[in-house]
Amino acid sequence: MILVHIKRSATELRYDEIPISEIKRKHFRFIIDNLERKDGKFSAHKFNKYRTYLSILYNELLDYEAVDSNIIKDIRKKAAVKNIRETLTDDERKKVNDHLKLNHPSFWLFMIIFFHSGGRITELMSVKISDVDLANQKYKVLIKKGKQYTWVERIIKDIALPYWQKALFGGKKTDFVFSVGLIPGENQIRRDQIRRRWKTHVKDKLNITADFYSLKHLNLDETVAQLSMNDAMRMGNFKTTKMLEQHYAVGEKERQFERLKTLQNKFA
């Protein structure tokens, strides 16, 4: 979607008529300025995200020798304020669970499976029934990072197994587990459909402000609390605990405080 917005803004400024070899850094700043005028001020986080996607695009252009350098790298990142991730309270979790289970059961099923997976929305969108091994409680996903594609196995927790069995029911091996209507089918759907459903059925209906992705933070944080940082790292498929500590283990600092408060190290 980011590149779609960039294309729209570039077309409005008639930059699509300029050869790519003549595009300068200033053109991208004007593209962003134009988007800000129409869509509202960019946060530092949003600006940096646009910069990242443009840089990836320019790396592809470099490979085809359409440009001589990645000029996006010379655009400075903006200093972003790191916010604490908002997650659902216990009361909100019950409210969301009851509402979706009663009124939108297919979305509720996807939500429960996503919560227990520790993975990404795009990963679950790409899983086919043939990728799921219920007997050994595993499923595999293709992780796409840059030009490296890697098959990774993810576990299916005991508590999540009945939900996976229900999700796969009636589907063919070649079907995506979560297709149109979030039931097995031949077509893969986009991740933004999940965000739209969450906004429509949860944020707007229940007056809840936490986003859907916060469910991953909740699950990984509870895994840290009940098992360990390393176990949560494995569940989230991180290479180190750094990303987990910085972004996902939202309650670990408070737990550390509580542990430190009870420390009985006498001086004498």
The shares of helix, strand and coil residues in the chain, as percent rounded to the nearest 5, are 60, 10, 35
Report how far residue 32's alpha carbon sits from residue 14's, in angstroms, rounded to the nearest whole number.
14
Is the whole-model pTM more than 0.75? no
Q: Which of 118, 97, 91 lies closest to 109 in space, CA to CA?
A: 97
Residues 6+ apart with CB under 8 A from 225: 251, 252, 255
Query: Measured on CA atoms in the order 237, 137, 112, 173, is the torsion positive or negative?
Result: positive
Q: How far apart are the first and last CA of the chain?
A: 63
Task: Tell me what pLDDT residue 106 has.
Answer: 97
Mutual angle of helices 214-226 and 252-261, in 10-degree steps: 30
84: tokens are 């604490």
113: tokens are 């499976």
CB 179 within 8 A of CB 193: no
Q: What is the pLDDT of residues 209-255, one digit of tens each?
A: 999 989 988 888 888 888 888 877 888 877 777 776 767 777 777 77
72: tokens are 């996006």
Q: Coil, strand or helix: which one is 150?
A: strand
221: tokens are 């944080």
Report how far residue 184's alpha carbon sits from residue 181's, in angstroms, rounded to the nearest whole number.
8
Per-residue pLDDT tens listing for the chain (268 residues): 788 888 888 899 998 888 888 888 888 888 888 888 877 777 888 888 888 888 888 888 888 888 888 888 888 888 766 666 788 999 999 999 999 999 999 999 999 999 999 888 999 999 999 999 999 999 999 887 666 788 889 999 999 999 999 999 999 999 999 999 999 999 999 989 999 999 999 999 999 999 998 998 888 888 888 888 887 788 887 777 777 676 777 777 777 777 777 878 776 7
- What kind and span of H or E run contains 133? strand 132-133
Task: Tell me what pLDDT residue 268 has.
Answer: 73
Report how far residue 245's alpha carbon sits from residue 238's, in angstroms, rounded to the nearest whole number.
11
Question: What count of other Cβ atoms lies within 10 Å of the Cβ of residue 44?
Answer: 12
Angle formed at CA 135 by CA 132 and CA 139, multiple of 5 degrees = 25
Q: Which of 195, 176, 196, 197 lies closest to 187 in space, CA to CA?
A: 176
Task: Tell me what pLDDT residue 41 has.
Answer: 76
Taken in order of first residue, the domains within the chain and their CATH numbers are 2-74 (no CATH), 90-253 (1.10.443.10)
The CA R_g of the chain, rounded to the nearest whole Å, is 22
Task: Tell me what pLDDT residue 195 has.
Answer: 92
